[in-house]
Structure 1
Amino acid sequence: MPLASQPVGRRERNKQQKLDRITAAARELFAERGVDEVTTQEIADKADIGAGTLFLYAKTKGELLLLVQNSSYADALAEGTSAAEHIPAVLDAVMAIVRPVVECNRKQIDNGRTYLREMIFGDPEEPHHRDALLLTVQTEKAIADVLQRDERIGSGDAATLAHIVSAIMFVSMAATINVAAPVDDVVQEIRNQVQALV
Structure 2
Amino acid sequence: MGRVISVSDSTVIARSPQALYAMVSDVTRMGEWSPENRGAVLAEGSGGSGGISVGTVFDGANTRGRVSWTTRCTVTAAEPGREFAFRVHAIGGTKRRVPARIASWQYTFREHDGGTLVTETWTDDRPWHDAAAQAFDYVATGGTTFAAFQRGNIRRTLRNLKAAAESGPSRQGR
The TM-score by the shorter chain falls in which range?
under 0.3
Q: As a proportion of its length, which structure holds more strand?
A: 2
Larger radius of gyration: 1
Task: Calculate the TM-score normalised by the size of structure 1.
Answer: 0.25
Task: Calculate the TM-score normalised by the size of structure 2.
Answer: 0.28
Q: As a proportion of its length, which structure holds more helix?
A: 1
